[in-house]
Structure formats: C-alpha cells, structure tokens
C-alpha cells in the first residue's frame, strides 16, 4: 500500500525526471509534414469568448519521435479577411514561446517515444478573444526530435566496443560507415 507521502514523492520525482529529459527548444526540428497536427474544436464559452481546441499529432514519419521533445507551436491564427490576429488573442495555457510563438507540450502518456504511424494523446489549447475578434481554427507546426535507426546502431556499436566484442578500430570504421550514409 502506498502512503500519501510516498505517492507525492513519486509525483515530484516523475515531474523532475520529465524536466531533466527536456532539451533546449532551439534544438528541436520542424517535423511538420511528417508529423501532422489534428485540431478539433472542443468547446466555446460565449461569455468569455474562449475557445478550447484539442490538438493531437499523427506521426507519419518512418521514425519514432522522442516523446519528451514533442511540441506543437501555434503558427497562425487568421480572421475571416486572412489577417493574422495572433497578437490580439490571449493564449491561456502555453508551455512557453519559441521565436515569439506559443508552444504546447504534447503529453507523453508514459511512452518514451511516439511510434511511426501512431497518434499522440491530445493537448488542450485555450484561446481567448477579449475583443471578440472572430477567427478560423488555429494552425500549428510540430517540433521534436526523431529517433533514427542510425542512432540505435551507433549505440549498439558503442556497447559492443565497451564489451570487447569490437576493437577500437572496428568500432571507428563502423562509425565512419554510418556517418557517410
């Protein structure tokens, strides 16, 4: 049986571990095209003029995406005339900004990576229009790090070198062949 204090300690450890795995936002690659954001309107409060959107990411790349690096960046928000109105809209719950645009962390759901051709858990995006400006659903870009097969091979070569299965020269030659591909 887990006590309340033990459960709280595990929660703190998991939150701390997640932050430790995070990378600098500038290191993330734009995966839009291979990773597709799917935007769904979840609700609208007419009194506060707040819209709630659910955004999922479908990984259509051939490689898994490292789950702790997967973010969606609000790229544009257009009114009916085609003008970008992002500056006049209040973004309620962003994780931060990158290049002046708000971004949102996509929940990992306990997975270390989002496999190829799978859908992520949704992230809720709340947008409030204090001036009651009407706008179309937002556009997002997907940023993250792909886990490529060559990285796995490099890890395997390094492990084989450490265990003595490969010599230093053999490991170096294998690394060079991988880097040339």
With cut-offs at 50, 70 and 90, classify the pLDDT of residue 173. Answer: confident
Q: Which residue has the higher pLDDT, 153 or 94?
A: 94
Rg over CA atoms, the chain: 21
Instruction: Compute the average pLDDT of residues 69-81.
Output: 94
**What are the tens digits of pLDDT across the range 3-46?**
333 333 333 323 333 333 356 777 788 999 899 999 999 999 99
Intra-chain end-to-end CA distance of the chain, in Å: 52
Distance of CA 131 to the CA centre of its chain: 31
Do 142 and 152 fall into the same domain? Answer: no
Average pLDDT value for the chain: 83
For 92, 157, 172, the CA distances from 108, given in Å and listed in that order, are 21, 28, 35
E strand intervals along 100-165: 101-105, 113-114, 123-128, 139-144
Tell me, yes or no, whether 131 and 162 share the same domain: no
Within a domain: 86? yes
Residues 152 and 101 in one domain: no
Which residue range(s) make up the domain with 141? 26-146
User: Residue 81's Cα: distance from chain center in Å?
Assistant: 31
Banded pLDDT at 106 (limits 50, 70, 90): very high
136/168 Cα distance (integer angstroms): 58
Q: How many C-beta neighbours within 10 Å does residue 44 have?
A: 11
**Domains of the chain: total:** 2
- 129 and 157 within one domain: no
Same domain, 129 and 181: no
Domain with residue 106: its CATH number is 2.60.40.290
Residue 79, pLDDT above cutoff 80: yes
- What's the DSSP call for residue 26? G
pLDDT digits (tens, 9 = 90+) for 61-73: 888 998 889 999 9
Q: Are 106 and 66 in contact (CB under 8 A)?
A: no
Instruction: Give pTM, 2 decimals.
Output: 0.71
User: Per DSSP, what are the bridge partners of residue 30?
Assistant: 143
Contact 112, 66 (CB under 8 A): yes
Q: What percentage of the chain reaches a pLDDT higher than 90?
A: 51
């Amino acid at each position: 049986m887990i006590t309340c204090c033990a459960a709280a300690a595990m929660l703190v450890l998991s939150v701390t571990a997640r932050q430790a795995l995070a990378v600098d936002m500038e290191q993330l690659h734009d995966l839009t095209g291979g990773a597709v954001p799917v935007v769904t309107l979840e609700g609208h409060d007419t009194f506060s003029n707040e819209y709630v959107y659910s955004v999922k990411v479908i990984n259509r790349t051939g490689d898994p995406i490292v789950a702790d690096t997967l973010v969606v960046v609000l790229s544009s928000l257009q009114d009916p005339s085609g003008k970008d109105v992002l500056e006049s809209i209040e973004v309620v719950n962003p994780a931060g900004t990158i290049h002046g645009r708000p971004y949102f962390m996509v929940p990992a759901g306990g997975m270390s990576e989002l496999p190829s051709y799978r859908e992520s858990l949704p992230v809720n995006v709340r947008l409030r229009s204090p001036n009651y400006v009407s706008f179309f659903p937002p556009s997002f870009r997907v940023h993250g790090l792909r886990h490529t097969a060559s990285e796995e091979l490099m890890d395997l070569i390094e492990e084989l070198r450490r265990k003595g299965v490969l010599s230093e020269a053999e490991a170096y030659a294998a690394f060079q062949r991988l880097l040339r591909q």
